[in-house]
Amino acid sequence: MPRSTPFWWATRGPLAWPQLPFAMLFAWVSALRRLAWRAGCLRAQRLPVPVVVVGNVAAGGSGKTPVVIWLADALRRRGWTPGIISRGYGGHALVPTEVGPQGDPALVGDEPVLISRRTGAPVWIGRDRPAVGRALLAAHADVNVIISDDGLQHYRLARDVEIVVLDERILGNALPLPAGPMREPLRRVRQAHLAILHGESSARTRHAIGKVNTARMSLATGRFYRLQNPAEQTDAAQLQSLMLKAVAGIGRPERFFESLRALGLTPRDMRAFPDHHAFSARDLALDGADALLMTEKDAIKCRAIAPEQTWVLPVDADIDASALDTILEHLHGPKAA
């Protein structure tokens, strides 16, 4: 997956046309592969505990990480003991590796470290998801449900529940990769157990996803905390009088900037970087500003190089209560009752 959104993904104009032959080939191979798994020609590997996959059908920042964090906390409140597996995108680990709250993002990826810090659940990463799941369970025998961060298209891992996080704003021209952002057609959402709709969805999108169970989602901002001392917190009102700089290296940087504006903050300098960007001290220099504002995902990588006046904005997924009921209906066993 590209770390930044190619400009031709925005429309179906002539800039996307040279990519169409590759896009058609990608769509054909993906469909054939999906059919082979569903027909049993290729055999999925099942773990000894239920698996919930949280994924999407388009490349880009749909909001999966906040959903994974929400789900881990929600299941724990209902008596489950979740473990979380991830590809560890942006890291370099080649074998199943456990991720702790102080893990090295260069080795295991930034999102798994953030998930570990926010949930306290066991988090393991690796390219082979069935192997990663087995390694997690071998190390944490009390875990009785696995949440797979992304992996909707990783059909080799059998799943009990599929959740698709869908943000219409990242669908762009709705063409297959590489002409557009689509990993799978939008109608693939119909096969999921639940679609979590991040933001507004048009009638066209709702028609495409059919009668799948849906739940609404928004992101709720918390209090800013100082990167060098998370116990020190502040409100947006206390930052309004300062000259601010904001940086974001996430799937949709504009979402972070929109959140700042909604809080009444108007940084004079807002800089967007590719997703999973490896920040340098120069990227984070104040450049005359009084304070630097960052996302929590970016901050994971930047504590050693960020200025003292760096403030981090955490976000939480606010999801309809019906979503958890739908998920629990498909998780077998006494705790699903």
Residue 25 CA to residue 292 CA, distance in Å, equals 44
Domain extent, residue 54, equals 7-80+144-219+318-336
7 is written with which tokens? Answer: 């400009």
Shared domain check, 282 and 149:
no
The answer to the question of residue 102 being in a domain is no
Instruction: Name the residue among 133, 135, 90, 138 with its Cα closest to residue 112.
Output: 90
The answer to the question of residue 88 being in a domain is no
The answer to the question of residue 183 being in a domain is yes
The answer to the question of residue 96 being in a domain is no
Amino acid at 96: P
Alpha helices (H) in the chain, listed in sequence order: 20-38, 64-77, 105-108, 110-119, 129-139, 203-209, 253-262, 296-299, 322-329
Instruction: Name the residue among 84, 79, 37, 30 with its Cα closest to residue 57.
Output: 30
The answer to the question of residue 124 being in a domain is no
List, in sequence order, every beta strand (DSSP E) within 136-264. 145-149, 161-166, 194-198, 214-221, 224-226, 229-234, 244-248
Q: Residue 139: how many CB atoms within 10 A of its CB?
A: 13
Shared domain check, 251 and 212:
no
Shared domain check, 162 and 66:
yes
Q: What is the mean pLDDT of residues 280-292?
A: 97
Q: Residue 303: how many CB atoms within 10 A of its CB?
A: 12
The answer to the question of residue 40 being in a domain is yes
Shared domain check, 259 and 185:
no
228, 312 contact by CB (below 8 A): no
Instruction: Name the residue among 41, 52, 228 with its Cα closest to residue 149.
Output: 52
111, 118 contact by CB (below 8 A): no
Residue 216 has pLDDT above 80, yes or no: yes
Residue 335 CA to residue 324 CA, distance in Å, equals 13
Shared domain check, 309 and 230:
yes
Residue 232 has pLDDT above 60, yes or no: yes
The pLDDT confidence band at residue 78, using thresholds 50, 70 and 90, is: very high
Distances (CA, A) of 151 to 33, 49, 311: 15, 17, 32
Residue 8 has pLDDT above 60, yes or no: yes
Q: How many domains are contained in the chain?
A: 2
Task: Provide the 3-class DSSP secondary structure of residue 177.
Answer: coil
The answer to the question of residue 91 being in a domain is no
The CATH number of whichever domain residue 200 belongs to comes to 3.40.50
Shared domain check, 297 and 229:
yes
Shared domain check, 12 and 56:
yes
Shared domain check, 76 and 15:
yes
Shared domain check, 185 and 286:
no
Q: Is the dihedral of CA 95, 100, 106, 110 positive or negative?
A: positive
Shared domain check, 26 and 62:
yes
Residue 326 has pLDDT above 70, yes or no: yes
Radius of gyration of the chain (CA): 20
pLDDT, residue 4, reads 60
The answer to the question of residue 176 being in a domain is yes
Residue 2 has pLDDT above 60, yes or no: no
pLDDT, residue 1, reads 47
pTM for the complete prediction? 0.93
